[in-house]
Structure 1
Amino acid sequence: MIQIDKALFCDMVKFYGEAFHLPPLAAKIYSYLIFDFEREGVSFDEFVVVFSASKSSISSNLNLLLNLNIITDFNKIDERKRFFVMNEKYMKIRFEEIIEKMESELSLLNKLKAFRNTSDENALRKFEVYSNLFNKSITNIKDTLDQL
């Protein structure tokens, strides 16, 4: 069994449940895996014991996390069991999706500005502020991802 800090675990379950729009058990599974610092993996059976949940509930929530690329699974050479770990690449995938959404919104904002074709100084200033915010945020996230 993995050692966890219960208060921190509860905070993480709430945060990741909301951030990733996960059902409660999936958020618990993901949060539990974060405490697997050595990345040894957690078996299906351990999840059943730790969360006192049915095998079908554990299975469907693991499959959800696998389908979302939030976790990955592997088999150890000497065992038939599957083990689950956090997907180390997930944060990069998540932030690349955020960049795509910001770039799409920035494109829409520029099209709206062109369509409106206003000379209203206040409106133009707001468009400029929004555009700068998007551009700086996109650049900052891309630069940070390059460092990972």
Structure 2
Amino acid sequence: MHKSIEIDEKIFQDAVKFYGTVFNLPPLASKIYAYLLFDYEKMGITFDEFVEVLSASKSSVSTSISLLLSSQLIVDHNKMDERKRYFFINDEYKKIRFEKIVQKMKDELKLLDDLDNFKKVKDDGYDEKIEAYKALLDKNIINIQESLNKL
């Protein structure tokens, strides 16, 4: 079997490191994700190609693919006339990722408001830094949501 896509080794290694850190992925899962980034034509990569190109065991590749699928980082499709599954980067993941970030910021804002309300019962003090931080969270939520609407 040959590689169905062409990759740049330096960019591949940089992507492995970056996405491994950003998505908290184990090394093989990060390699699979980085390899899929080079599938510009969206032809899909088969399980067997991952095993061969990445020189990994079938069980390791299977475990990594399962992790990526459950994390919604990749998707799979079966072509009509074939039993093979083809894997692709999930183009919707960018939107999913930022929706999760917005939700975390909203959750933090609610927690800060609850703490602030609790503090006001005990003390009338005004915390300028907390208010500035809450304003920053609010602005970022609005900016990200506006951008998400464009995706």
TM over 0.5: yes
Deviation by residue 1:106-132 (Cα, 9 ceiling, x = unmatched): 0111111111114445x2x11220111
Question: C-alpha displacement at 1:68, in angstroms?
Answer: 1.0
Unaligned runs of 5+ in 1: none
Map of 1:39 onto structure 2:
42
Please point out which of 140, 145, 148 is paired with 1:145: 148
Q: Does residue 23 of structure 2 align to residue 14 of structure 1?
A: no
CA distance in 1, matches of 2:136, 2:81: 52
Map of 1:99 onto structure 2:
102
Map of 1:63 onto structure 2:
66
CA distance in 1, matches of 2:50, 2:17: 18
Map of 2:28 onto structure 1:
25
Deviating above 2 A after TM superposition, structure 1's stretches of 4 or more consecutive aligned residues are 118-121
Unaligned runs of 5+ in 2: none
Map of 1:116 onto structure 2:
119
Aligned length: 146
CA distance in 2, matches of 1:127, 1:113: 9
Map of 1:86 onto structure 2:
89
Q: TM-score, normalised by structure 1?
A: 0.94
Question: C-alpha displacement at 1:78, in angstroms?
Answer: 2.1
Q: Percent identity?
A: 53
Moved more, 112-121 or 1-10: 112-121
Deviation by residue 1:46-84 (Cα, 9 ceiling, x = unmatched): 101110111111111111111111111001122211000
CA distance in 2, matches of 1:47, 1:95: 28
Moved more, 112-121 or 28-37: 112-121
CA distance in 2, matches of 1:111, 1:126: 16
Name the SS of the counterpart of 2:32 in structure 1.
Answer: helix
Amino acid paired to 1:83? Y
CA distance in 2, matches of 1:145, 1:101: 15
CA distance in 2, matches of 1:15, 1:119: 45
CA distance in 2, matches of 1:5, 1:143: 34
RMSD of the TM alignment (CA)? 1.1
